[in-house]
Homo-oligomer: A and B are copies of this chain.
């Protein structure tokens, strides 16, 4: 009689490997009290790659993430339309690396980054800095979502070097984020 049915063993095998991809066929054979060959047949049937490939997968994922974990430099999102000192539009595709592992919801600072860098970009000046901002995350955004962000200049006070920008982000037409940005600029109009 079989210690366990083949099916059961394969189910546990998948689990075990998923839990710890660093386990060798020999260790698995000992664990399940079968021959190494059986483990290999099982892996084939389940199309689970060999140890080295599994490790390489984990490593290369890590590598990608490491590279991507600092992409927070230039403008976040792609600017698709801009009319300086008036309005601007950018698109940002939310990927796995932008969301919380736990719940798959985009981390706020990415949405803020897109909005903020668009607010900076719309200002027609050498120097534009965010002074103050009031923002609301209206609805969770998830991986795969395409966020369309619109910035509109709604007010200027050249005496105080201030410009007010309203930013709204939507996914599939639904508002997910709104913010008001008070920007500082060095120059006034037409200087």
Taking Cβ atoms with an 8 Å cutoff, the residues of A that contact B are: 21-22, 52, 55-56, 58-63, 65-66, 69-74, 76, 97-98, 100-103, 105, 107-110, 112-113, 116-117, 120, 126-127, 129-137, 140
Contact = CB atoms under 8 A, between A and B. Distances in A.
Contacts of A110: 72
Given A58-B59, A69-B101, A101-B69, A107 B74 contact: yes
Given A52-B52, A133-B133, 11 more contacts: A22-B63, A56-B59, A61-B62, A66-B101, A69-B101, A74-B100, A102-B126, A108-B116, A108-B133, A134-B134, A135-B135
A108 B129 contact: yes
A93 B70 CA distance: 13
Number of identical protomers: 2
A149 B99 CA distance: 22
Contacts of A117: 107, 109
Given A52-B52, A73-B97, A137 B131 contact: yes
Contacts of A62: 58-59, 61-62, 65
Contacts of A72: 98, 109-110, 113
A105 B120 CA distance: 13
